[in-house]
Amino acid sequence: MKDVFVLLNNNIRELFRQTSFWIGVIIVLQVLMIWLIIYVYLELSDSNYHFYMNTKTSMESIHHVKIDKYDGSFERELSTEEKLIRKQNQRWHLRKLFK
């Protein structure tokens, strides 16, 4: 991983030396803009991940049952294996990369 960053640093330095300063700045800003677009897309897709959150409270109050947020079925006691599977299937998020 360290070699990748050293290689990127050297390539960016050569880019600034060979081209004019403003072309290098524009390229770096374009890369940052693409990264920002990907980050915002992941944030928005993560906020829309839970399918059963909007109707959960009203369905529980009308029918007097507990509804599982994971798959929409009735809540029950989970086995250790099911808890492990749910934990492994959690959606990856950029926040986990920075923690």
Mark whether 34 and 21 lie in a shared domain: yes
Dihedral pair phi/psi, residue 44, rounded to 5° = -70, -40
Measured at the alpha carbon of residue 99, what is the angle toward residues 94 and 27, in degrees to the nearest 5? Answer: 50
Mark whether 43 and 56 lie in a shared domain: no
What Å distances lie between residue 52 and 32, 57, 65, 73, 88, CA to CA? 35, 10, 14, 10, 20
How far apart CA 24 and CA 17 sit, in angstroms, is 9
- Give me the tens of pLDDT residue by residue for the chain, a chain 99 residues long: 678 778 878 887 887 777 677 787 888 899 999 999 888 887 776 665 555 555 556 667 777 777 776 676 777 777 888 888 877 777 666 666 665
Structural domain ending residue among the three candidates 33, 48, 63: 48
**What pTM does this model have?**
0.34
Please count the structural domains in the chain. 2
